[in-house]
Amino acid sequence: MKVLGAFGSKTKNSQLSSYLLDENTVIDAGNLIQSLGDDFLKLDNILITHAHFDHIADLPIAIDTYYSRIKRPIKIFATQKVIDIIQENIFNNKVWPDFSKIPLFENEGNTITFHALEYFKEYTIGNFIMKPYPSFHSDGSCGYVINNQMVFTSDTFLCYHTWQFLNENKNLTKLVIEVSFPSAYNRLAVLSKHLTPALLKSELESLERDDVKIYINHLKYEFIDKIIDELKEIGLYDKVTILEDNSEIEIV
Ligand SMILES: [Zn+2]
Ligand SMILES: [Zn+2]
């Protein structure tokens, strides 16, 4: 997995959520253009965790930018609820053209196709086995269990599924989980359904193993130093890896 965008804020030095599984398949579309360039054209599968803008921002722009060179329909996977939100609010011929009804420039088929995923079902998508599961973050939001090896929460807030999966299945050895705000912003974190270092620590009390490699993502840019300080204060900093743009995690 190559991290194309590790953060919850877009700045000159931080990019929005995008996680490339291999050259054909990516989770979330926060940063596809600047990171991939023309390699965007190799993508067949774009999985979306939820419809918040930081996870879909490059999707409409990239499809338009590369339209004339897209050779086969790009498949967009998400829960039906998230697909509905994206269709109604982005690809609605008002904010942006409905590329699911626009034929490819040269080949048969429409430019994008939407594919609804159901929670807790396993799907083979590209070279990966993906199991979406509900997170408690936004309408239709999900995390993914990837290749029976990694739990990828995306934006999550409190979510007992994460810990249940990890406790029950020892094949799951990697966890990517968000921390967005410092603990002092607990109210904002709860309102926006995000984790703080303190909330993560209390969540981790549900984890009955100590052999899970934990990666942290989605830090809000303005709070990076504060979040790192807090992780140190509560003794978590040495137990986790904070993801950055271009970090890599092995998935086999
Ligand atoms: Zn979100
Ligand atoms: Zn987000």
> What are the percentages of helix, strand and coil residues in the chain, rounded to 5?
30, 25, 45
Which pLDDT does position 180 carry in this prediction? 98
Which pLDDT does position 5 carry in this prediction? 98
The alpha carbon of 252 and the centre of ligand 1 are apart by a number of angstroms equal to 27
- pLDDT exceeds 90 at position 252: no
The alpha carbon of 107 and the centre of ligand 1 are apart by a number of angstroms equal to 35
Mean pLDDT, to the nearest integer, of 48-68? 98
CA distances from 215 to 11, 36, 67, 102, 200 (A): 21, 23, 35, 39, 12
Residue listed under structure tokens 């965008």? 5
Question: To the nearest whole number, what is the mean pLDDT of the chain?
Answer: 98
The alpha carbon of 50 and the centre of ligand 1 are apart by a number of angstroms equal to 7
- Give the CATH fold of the 2-242 domain: Metallo-beta-lactamase; Chain A (3.60.15)
- DSSP secondary structure letter of residue 37: G
> What residue spans define the domains of the chain?
2-242
The alpha carbon of 82 and the centre of ligand 1 are apart by a number of angstroms equal to 12
